[in-house]
Amino acid sequence: MSPRPDGFVPVCTLGQLQEDTPFAAEVEGVSVVLVRTCGAVHALHNACSHADVALSEGEVDDCHIECWLHGSRFDVRTGNPDSLPALRPVPVYAVHLDGDTEDATVSVNTALTQAHDRDPLAAAVPVTQEG
């Protein structure tokens, strides 16, 4: 899909993102993994910083995504690893949600990365449950 004037690229609808299930996408030539967990949608670079393995093949638990190959876990809010063998964080990208229903468009801007020493929710988009 084409980027919007603000640089965000529509990727999917909110309804396509299942809770705690990685969703792989390519955004402007960048491999991204979207994760709907801990009440928000997060976007990270889809490669483990240790072994360059797709994080979208791993599991999500407790706001973390795990690399299936060697077990490194990354906080989806910051990209920081919290287990070996990974030592470097993975980039976290800005997410924008157009709407508040399951039909809302989820967009990502890979040019806007979150600084790992700032607010861990700065790049995430909160998801409210209606009911």
Instruction: Tell me how far apart the alpha carbons of residues 18 and 12 are, in angstroms, rounded to a whole number.
Output: 12
The answer as to whether 129 is a domain residue is no
The answer to which of 23-32, 35-44, 115-124 has the lowest mean pLDDT is: 115-124
Return the structure tokens found at 30: 């960048």
The answer as to whether 102 is a domain residue is yes
The answer as to whether 106 is a domain residue is yes
Tens digits of residue pLDDT in 28-70: 999 999 999 999 999 999 999 999 999 999 999 999 999 999 9
State how many domains the chain has.
1
The answer as to whether 2 is a domain residue is no
The answer as to whether 1 is a domain residue is no
Residue 26 makes CB contacts below 8 A (sequence gap 6+) with 32
Return the structure tokens found at 94: 């800005």
CATH number at residue 107: 2.102.10.10
Task: State percent of the chain over pLDDT 70.
Answer: 87
Confidence (pLDDT) at 122? 53
Domain range for 44 is 9-124
Confidence (pLDDT) at 27? 96
Establish how many alpha carbons lie within 13 A of residue 61's alpha carbon, considering only the half-sphere containing its beta carbon: 9
